[in-house]
Structure 1
Amino acid sequence: MWSTCHHGAALLPRARPWAQPDLPAMKQIRLNAFDMNCVGHIHQGLWRHPRDRSTQYTDLAYWMDLARTLERGLFDGLFLADVLGIYDVYQGGPDAAVREAVQVPVGDPLLLIPAMAAATTHLGFGVTANLSYEPPYTFARRMSTLDHLTGGRIGWNIVTGYLDSAARALGLDGQAAHDDRYAVAEEYMDVVYRLWEGSWADDAVRRDRAGGVYADPARVRAVRHHGPHFRMEGAHLCEPSPQRTPVLYQAGSSERGRKFAAAHAECVFVNGGPKTHVARLVADLRDLARSLGRDPSDLKVFVGATVVVDETDALAQAKRADYECYASVEGALAHASASLGIDFAARGWDEPIHPGQSQAVTSNIENQAARRPDKVLTRRGLVEGLTLGGRQVPIVGGPATVADELTAWVEQADVDGFILARTVTPECFGDFVDLVVPELQRRGAYKTEYSPGTLREKLSGHGARLPAGHPAASRRWV
């Protein structure tokens, strides 16, 4: 149980939620949990809460327990964020980020996945990996290995980075311009598609014990690529994995990012905000996909969300107030300054901030501005909008209230599901599984069992391989 902020208010009694009438079936909601191999992720400061266990992020048992909880709730996947570099934009250095544990220290998320896969049967894993700092050849092997070890449950969140500190740590003067990074990404995708899809024929692996032939060398070929950004020559090191190409996630909502997502992504992660603003983004993404010859239904759009739930609205509001006691404004500003590419400590309180001023995640600036009545982001507006140590406005209430808001998002913004950020962990995910999932299931808005197959098959209802309309299909062995 909890109290309000440090002033000894009486604890609220537990109450049973009111029974809700049966509602008509609707489009089934998809769910991913959103986490990171670190202490402070999206909502800064909440690691200080006495029930939070995020400081155990270096313990494999912690991650295996989380995976089991999510599978119990029939989540489609665990979406693992990552970042290279330290958030050193705020106040011109890394001190605030280090002091507040703002995504530092941070471990490699890929190394968590085999243990979590061993603890589960169906849960998928969407892992963030930055293509700007690793050659396509070695990266393709790592993802194929994970696809094998998980039985086809791996996805890749494609990112190009947004921190100059990462570029400097890897021997560069700074990161490339925002749109230039996407030009590199287009070539990178072509190379990994050729490795995953076209280096080994479907029948290359024979496993012929009597004949002493494991794989037919005539059915394995080198990929030769000489482009403006990458040069390589070599066969893919892994035999074909269940999905070949991992499920492709992408979180770009800028104009350039949307074009990239429409061409390549299967799952697109968009920030929350006004439903009308998100609805326009979703419609644009689907129109772009259609114009590129893809089936728009192959594009699943997930909106970022934070949920604080309890048995009743009153209990949930009390829980939210308790969480707020531990939130860190300084941590939130350190996070925002880096992800927006703007040092808020050096800006006037009412100085307008525009996307063109940053080479970081420009869609974050657009999204934050969209929340403001005048559509202009300022330092004052950002601070006034902070809640639970972050910029994401939470959904707070009992099971019915939360379910109402989630279904409203699906109906009004045409999203397919949600990527749920953690607050106080692991209780935030346990609360959602125990309270919201049964309510959604009762409404017919959420599955009651997993479908068989790989992560792609579960998400799309089609095959384990990418469909013919995807650009990777043109790189298959012919």
Structure 2
Amino acid sequence: MTKQIRLNAFDMNCVGHQSPGLWRHPRDTSSNYTSLAYWTDLARTLERGKFDGIFLADVMGVYDVYGSSPDAALRNGVQVPVNDPTLIIPAMAAVTEHLGFGVTCTLSYEPPYPFARRMSTLDHLTNGRIGWNIVTGYLDSAAKAMGQARQVAHDTRYEIAEEYMEVVYKLWEGSWEDDAVRRDRASGIYTDPSKVHRVAHHGTYFDVEGIHLSEPSPQRTPVLYQAGSSSKGQAFAAGHSECVFVGAPSRQIVGPTIARLRKQVAAQGRDPADVLVFGMMTVIVGETDEAALRRLEDYKSYVSHEGALVLMSGWTGIDFSGCKSEDVVRHIRNDAVHSAIDRFTIADPDRIWTVGEVADFIGIGGASPVIVGSPGRVADELEAWIRETDLDGFNLTYQVMPETFVDFVDLVVPELQRRGIYKRDYSPGSLREKLFGSGPRLRAPHPAARYRRGAEAVTGDILPEPVAALR
């Protein structure tokens, strides 16, 4: 059976996102990001193109590594100003029926108890179409804004994340039984108290005592995304994630990354096919190859190279403001995003990058590869990436909003459908059902399933009588 390509739009509740400087393009409307109409129009376009979802990035903090100041980020509109990504989701859900929503929320600066309620609320309001991109953060500026001297060490952040997941699984899966809510008008009982259980968690990093505040939502646990590429990040993804987001400038780098990830998933006792891997990709399409190349050159004329290095500095924790264009990018290990510096250094030892080359590369689509051409050429390349790397799909960046996504929907989607490698319609059900074809709930051996209580567990076994607290 031919693998069906999965597609997410990669966006952020800000100006520009991955292509610094392109907000200046005369056809770009991304400065309207503060308007609900901007987001509802985009949602309609993506659903018309049968996109699986919109993947909303986010950062807490500002990119202030470059020049040890936020000035360059502010001047160039580099992911600042930035609004809360969760608040635009209900509006987009209201004008669509099938589009999924993967939202990035860092667990480092919000206690699990209120966060679990927020995700359950979104799962209700989207009718089971919410996903959570689990991140631990990477900017010292965020930590300082939250009252810390600096961010917690990289590997420790993942230790905290493991316990955080245990807490939210207990809240989502174990606090309320499936039939706890009765809505019995005759008896006057809305919820059966005997079927609602207090979570009592006392761990190394979190102490939580209380019931989950939300009644069971369609998926309970949202679809879980993760984007860590370090050894710690991949181990975490192998244990928890259903969808993994990877970024690499070439197939030679991303292929081995995916192979390692799937091996780790299997080592956790999970089926590697239960994890979908999305690669970041930039597509610039035209009616012909020549038209697409002209569009690329047009876009390049608006790139902010300073803005690109602001991004690179923030991702890597390395200040590139004093570097010359011809300087070679060197490998440094710190508490920032390990994969960001790895992909331009040790990931491909045969490729040496200069600072100027990195700025050029990041200027269009961030750190993603770029495909330029006619619909046929774009489809050929997307197929090749899937075939040669074992990717399941792509998170597509934009350069000019909404032009990038409108062109892809109008030109590339029909070509993919003609080849039989892209769906012509959505499957019914929740986001999890659309992506995996199973039920709306996580199933064993996923660790969330062990906290299930109620009439029937995902393993098919009847659980014991409820106890006073879920520990």
TM-score (norm 1): 0.92
Q: 1:286: Cα distance to partner? A: 0.8
| Aligned equivalents of 2:67, 2:38: Cα separation in 1 | 34
* Contact in 1 for aligned 2:20/2:363 (Cα 8 Å): no
Q: Distance in 2 between matches of 1:426 and 1:87?
A: 25
Q: Does 1:203 align with 2:194?
A: no
For 2:230, the equivalent position in structure 1 comes to 254
8 Å contact kept, 2:15–2:31: yes
Count of aligned residue pairs for this structure pair: 453
User: Aligned equivalents of 2:354 and 2:27: distance in 1?
Assistant: 34
Structural mapping, 1:184-199, within 5 Å: 184-199=160-175
Matching of residue 182 in structure 1 with residue 158 in structure 2:
yes
Q: Secondary structure of 1:400's match?
A: helix
Contact 2:249 2:367 in 1 (8 A): no
> Which of 341, 354, 360 lines up with 2:331 in the alignment?
354
Q: Distance in 2 between matches of 1:71 and 1:196?
A: 28
Aligned to 1:50: 26
Secondary structure of 1:336's aligned partner: helix
> In the aligned structure 2, how far is the partner of 1:436 from the partner of 1:31?
12
> What is the CA deviation profile of residues 121-157 of structure 1, one whole-angstrom value per residue up to 9, with x for unaligned ones?
0000000001000000000000000000000000000
The residue identity in structure 2 corresponding to 1:324 is K
Partner of residue 142 from structure 2, selected from 163, 166, 178: 166
* Alignment correspondent of 2:2: 26
Matched, 1:39 2:19: no
Could you tell me which amino acid in structure 1 is paired with residue 57 of structure 2? A
Residue aligning to 1:12: none
Q: CA deviation at 1:379?
A: 2.7
Q: Which residue of 2 aligns with 1:280?
A: 256
1:343 aligns with 319
Instruction: Give the match for residue 17 of structure 1.
Output: none
State the Cα distance separating 1:346 from its structure 2 match: 3.6
The equivalent of 1:364 in structure 2 is: 340
Contact 1:308–1:396 under 8 Å retained in 2: yes
Identity of aligned residues (%): 62
Query: Does the CA-based 8 Å contact 1:327-1:389 persist in structure 2?
Result: no
Distance in 2 between residues matched to 1:304 and 1:446, nearest whole Å = 18
User: Are 1:429 and 2:405 matched, yes or no?
Assistant: yes
User: Distance in 1 between the 2:370 and 2:418 partners?
Assistant: 23
What residue number does 1:473 align with?
Answer: 449
Partner of 1:245: 221
Amino acid across the alignment from 1:303: G
Q: Within 1, Cα distance between the matches of 2:365 and 2:161?
A: 32
Q: 1:352, CA displacement in angstroms? A: 4.8
Counterpart in 2 of 1:296?
272
Residue number among 105, 108, 130 corresponding to 1:129 in the alignment: 105
1:141-152 paired onto structure 2 within 5 Å: 141-152=117-128
* Whole-Å separation in 2 of the counterparts to 1:181 and 1:350: 32
Partner AA of 1:350 in structure 2? D
Q: TM-score, normalised by structure 2?
A: 0.94
What's the C-alpha RMSD, in Å, of the aligned pairs? 1.4
Give unpaired runs (5+ residues) of structure 2: 454-462, 464-471
CA drift of 1:187 comes to 0.4
Classify 1:385/1:55 alpha carbon distance in 2 versus 1 (closer, same or farther; 3 Å): closer
CA offset at residue 475 of structure 1?
1.0
Task: Note the C-alpha offset of 1:364.
Answer: 1.2
- Whether the 8 Å contact between 1:277 and 1:370 is mirrored in structure 2 is no
State the Cα distance separating 1:178 from its structure 2 match.
0.7
Rounded Cα–Cα distance in structure 2 between residues aligned with 1:32 and 1:265: 16
**Would the aligned equivalents of 1:274 and 1:371 in 2 still touch at CA under 8 Å?**
no
Taking the aligned partners of 2:423 and 2:303, their CA distance within structure 1 comes to 34
Q: Displacement of 1:384 after TM fit?
A: 5.2
Q: Which runs of no fewer than 5 residues in structure 1 stay unpaired?
A: 1-24
Equivalent AA in structure 1 for residue 424 of structure 2: T
Contact kept? 2:223, 2:431, Cα under 8 Å? yes
CA deviations 1:281-327 (Å, max 9, x no partner) are 11111111111111111000000000000111110000111111111
Matches within 5 A, 1:304-383: 304-347=280-323, 349-350=326-327, 352-356=329-333, 358-369=334-345, 374-375=350-351, 378-383=354-359
Q: State the one-letter code of the partner of 1:148.
A: H
Q: Deviations along 1:38-66, whole A, 9 cap, x unmatched?
A: 00211100000000000000000010000
Match of 2:41 among 65, 76, 96: 65
